[in-house]
Amino acid sequence: MGEREVWAYVRERWSDNMKTASLAGIVLIVLGILSFAYQGITVTTRKHVADVGPIHATKDQKHTLPLPPVLGGILLIGGVVLLVSGQRSGS
């Protein structure tokens, strides 16, 4: 493999990495916006309370995992940085 082939391979891989950075940036931006919009994730679990013969009693419990606005801001800023760096290096 000659020097030209090596550099062509490196340029091709570098371009693929920049496309990946741009895609990752878009995903982070979407996740940041969703984090601001929903403020938390709610999960419902079912707990068995009593089993008496053929009668089964259950209770649904909701648990909320709060998402701090700082997390949304970090995701948004990180996504913008990746998107801009991927666009700048890819062109």
Helices 69-90 and 3-38 pack at an angle, to 10 degrees, of: 150
At 1 the pLDDT is: 62
Instruction: Name the residue range of residue 42's domain.
Output: 3-90
At 74 the pLDDT is: 94
> pLDDT tens, 61-87?
999 888 888 999 999 999 999 888 877
Q: What is the pTM of this model?
A: 0.61
Looking at residue 59, its amino acid is: K
Give how many domains the chain has, as a whole number. 1
**DSSP-derived pairing of the beta strands 40-52 and 55-66:** antiparallel
